[in-house]
Amino acid sequence: MQTERYSSLLVSLVITIIISTPLFGQFNTYSPYTRFGLGDMAKQGVAQNQAMGGTGLAIHEGNRINYLNPASFSSLDSTSVYLDFGANSFHNHYQTENFSNTWWNMNLHHVAFASSIGKYMGFSAGIVPYSSIGYNIKQEYNDYTHGLAMDTYYKGEGGIMNFYTGTSIKLLDRVSLGVTMNYLMGKLTREREVNFPMHSGYSDITSLNFVKR
């Protein structure tokens, strides 16, 4: 019985790794505000957490994964192994006086698994989004009096994922202690290009900022 349980745990871990592999290519965001810092910070938690506005620290139940509260891992059903993955979608519309753009996409959001370890301990691991960037902006400067024009393009893509692993132990009937370890990984690419459309003899300027963890 114990051997079958550990086999199920190993299979769940392998499935988690396989499913989470595409997450590293799922940084599909479009917002001009992500040009700064780490970009658009992701809403933390799985579906039940986000359905309650992102809260969930107090959830301590035996039939769901709540990585926001690592102490809850020890309450998981000792006869089950849990695998949780989800997707989300976005619809953005930007409009100015002379420009309008609509953008929609769907991403794989998270992959997580959890299981009890004996009667008083629990374990969970998974990959969840942390932040993402995605923008393509053109800035124009035209000085018709002196015949000078300059176009600046700003492009960015990428994001950061959070790999977590945690465990907890039940100390008393209503008291549990849990800890998690988080590792941020991913890449952010930002590009800036300057063109001079009215002066073909001028060289274009391109700068690339690449960050990888």
Q: Say what the pLDDT of residue 146 is.
A: 66
3-state SS string for the chain? CHHHHHHHHHHHHHHHHHHHHHHHHCCCCCCHHHHCCCCEECCCCCHHHHCCCCCCCCCCCCCCCCCCCHHHHHHCCCCCEEEEEEEEEEEEEEECCCCEEEEEEEEEEEEEEEEEECCCEEEEEEEEEEEEEEEEEEEEEEECCCCEEEEEEEEEEEEEEEEEEEEEEEEECCEEEEEEEEEEEEEEEEEEEEECCCCCCCCCEEEEEEEEC
Point out the residues of the chain with pLDDT beneath 50. 1-3, 6, 8-9, 11-14, 16-25
Domain extent listing, the chain:
2-131+160-186
pLDDT of the residue at 124: 92
pLDDT at 6: 47
pLDDT single digits (tens) 56-70: 777 777 788 888 889
Q: What is the pLDDT of residue 183?
A: 92
pTM, two decimal places: 0.73
